[in-house]
Structure 1
């Protein structure tokens, strides 16, 4: 969870910077910094869960004996 929160902090900063750079508006930059990374952080959390499951399946398959 610490990795996810760290990623969120970086993402909020980048989203604000991009929103502000594109519009010159602190309000638009702030809204982008709150909405987009919040949704992306949740997506990232589930993405990591899926990849852990995929890696576990791959590891389990590599432990199985070869069938000929």
Structure 2
């Protein structure tokens, strides 16, 4: 759960920055860019959080897990390194 919240937070910052930049380039207006950058990423961030949770629930229900190991997982990283060196 903590990882999901951290990932959601970093996604929100990235999305806000991109949304603000694009809206400013299109409109040339700081208030409009700020409004767009606050509303759209906020809605998208909430949707992203629940999207990630739904995928995890679906993985648990089917007994499947993500085929790509997380880099944060030391054992998975070690396995990737071993496979890379062996291949």
TM range (shorter): 0.7 to 0.9
Aligned length: 60
Question: Structure 1 runs of 4+ off > 4 angstroms?
Answer: none
Quote the Cα distance in structure 2 between the aligned partners of 1:44 and 1:13.
16
Could you tell me which of 35, 40, 43 is aligned with 2:44?
40
Matching of residue 26 in structure 1 with residue 37 in structure 2: no
Deviations 1:6-54 (A, max 9, x none): 0000000000011001111111110011100011111011101100011
Higher helix share: 1
Quote the Cα distance in structure 1 between the aligned partners of 2:50 and 2:6.
15
TM-score normalized by the length of structure 1:
0.83
Quote the Cα distance in structure 1 between the aligned partners of 2:25 and 2:61.
43
Could you tell me which of 53, 59, 64 is aligned with 2:57?
53
Shift, 1:59, TM fit: 1.3
Q: Give the aligned CA root-mean-square deviation in angstroms.
A: 1.1
- Structure number with greater CO (CA < 8 Å, separation at least 6) is 1
Any stretches of 5+ residues in structure 2 without a counterpart?
65-87
Any stretches of 5+ residues in structure 1 without a counterpart?
61-68
Quote the Cα distance in structure 1 between the aligned partners of 2:62 and 2:18.
34
